[in-house]
Amino acid sequence: MARIDQFEHPRHRCYPAARALDGLGKDGVVTALQTAEYRQILSIGADVLECTGTDALVETMMPRLGSLLACKSMFIALTHSRQWRWRNLHSVGLDQEFPLLMERLNQQDPGRTALMRSQSRRRTGILNSDTIWPTAREPRDAYYTALYKPRDIRHALALSIPTDDDLFATIVMHRSHRDGHFNARDEQVALALLPFLKGGIERICYREREAQGAWLLEQLRRDYRECDLLILDDQLHPVARWPQQSPLLQQLIADIRRSSRQLPVFAPDLAALCRRSLAGAGDDRQHHRLGSDGHELDVVLSRYRQGQRTLLVISAPSNAAQGSARDAIAFSRLSPRETVVARQAARGARNDDIARDLGIASSTVAHHLSAVRRKTGQRMRWQLGVTSALLDRVSSLPLGRRQKQILHARLLGKTVATIADDLKISDTTVRNHLCMTYRRLGVSGLRGVLARLSAETSDV
């Protein structure tokens, strides 16, 4: 039977737990684990490494610990290590009210400072509540009374485990006042289990990330069919999207798909590469051929890292090229339902028609349209139908250079005052140019201009 100190996780070297067993505590008090206990730890660790979720992990550990490390309840909390915000919480032996209390009382946690200190050092560790927290009634007992009321819990053993995904896992085991505090032997058992727990949690995070990515790609195929490239923030909210009108972007996407064997792929920090490639003009634009094995992709991405992983980029197949980067950035902030409502409203559908098609109330449609206007900055309903294809047609209209410039800005939703300020002319001059534009096009306003551009685009 292999000893604990011979176990090594494939991704990192684990704690030499056997050396920690030589002695612990003051006055030379030595406590050692027996061979049977080693075997039990190895058995529990093997089960931990096979867990597919944090809920399965706590449910596996609780009954298996038994005589080794008895506890009344247990929970695993995943937090973002930079903001110390809860990402996930799974518990055993605690009711459904506990996660809400935990989130609300997080700032009052007496052990929070010690956990954050371990977190900042990015190292695993064991925190015994009887040694790191104040032993007086305040603040530990007051915190426990508020968090675990009416449960009789007074002692905790916290295992701090940083992961490779900017997450920080905390496993906390509780004992009641009657069962006594956690002693040196309990800490040794926890220390021996730490390598398995770290490996199990990292595998769980990896599996959850893969499952989340597969689900997200399915949503992209359904909701963003017109997009080739979608940039998300770290909470998986759309930030920007670009269609395949740019030859540079077409080739970039082709290389990414080639790297992933024609499958959609998402990778961190690709946003920096895309933004740098699209920021310049002409010869200033850079393009990188990424090869077929994906190695060059990693090399290129590493050159454009901006200190921390804050963006996620997804390349997905598209059936049509619609809109522009300008339109996409604005409309990517909409929810799927808001996107559907905006598209139907842009085609001229009334609120009652949209409500009937979607099976919702007209007031709900009006609420969605208000949210759409707020997020996109479009004040008028007809402006939702302005796309890059229509804006590109402005250059072909029989107008002067200044008139085209003002009309283009007006179709983007800019006010007369903003246009005048940008062009360094007076408001009256802008209005005169617009009146001359409407007269030459034979229309009465921007709605007429939009209708003419739409007709010419459909003819093409």
What band does 131 get if pLDDT is binned at 50, 70 and 90? low
| DSSP state string for 317-381 | --S---S-HHHHHHHTTS-HHHHHHHHHHHTT--HHHHHHHHTS-HHHHHHHHHHHHHHH---SG
Which CATH number among 2.40.240.10, 3.40.30.10, 3.40.640.10, 1.10.10.10 corresponds to the domain 386-459? 1.10.10.10
pLDDT above 70 for 137: no
> Average per-residue pLDDT in the chain?
64
Region of residue 81 (phi > 0: left; psi between -120 and 50: alpha; otherwise: beta): alpha
Q: How many CB atoms within 10 Å of residue 344? A: 18
Looking at residues 7-13, what average pLDDT do you find? 34
Fold designation for 4-207: Beta-Lactamase (3.30.450)
Q: Is the pLDDT of residue 273 over 60?
A: no
Kindly indicate the confidence band of residue 209, based on its pLDDT and cuts at 50, 70 and 90: low
Would you list the domain boundaries of the chain?
A: 4-207, 224-324, 334-383, 386-459
210-214, 267-271, 311-315: range with highest mean pLDDT: 210-214
Same fold, 334-383 and 386-459: yes
**DSSP annotation of 139:** I
Name which of 439, 345, 451, 434 is nearest 393 in CA terms: 451
Question: What stretch of H or E contains 74?
Answer: strand 73-80
φ/ψ of 89, rounded to 5, equals -150, 125
Of the ranges 15-19, 323-327, 426-430, which one carries the lowest mean pLDDT score? 15-19
Q: What are the residues facing 232 on neighbouring strands?
A: 238, 312
Report pLDDT digits (tens) over 182-206: 888 888 888 888 888 888 887 777 7
Q: Which residues pair with 74 in a beta bridge?
A: 92, 173
Average pLDDT over residues 200-217: 65
DSSP label of 12: B
Quote the percentage of the chain above a pLDDT of 70: 45
pLDDT band for 113, please (50, 70, 90 cuts): low
Over the range 411-441, which residues count as b (16 or more CB within 10 Å of their CB) and which as e? bbbbebeebbeeeeeeeeebeebbeebbeeb
Give the end-to-end CA distance of the chain in Å, rounded to a whole number.
77
Tokens of 417: 């005052």
Mean pLDDT of 318-330: 38
Structurally, at CATH architecture level, domain 334-383 sits in Orthogonal Bundle (1.10)
pLDDT at 369 over 50: yes
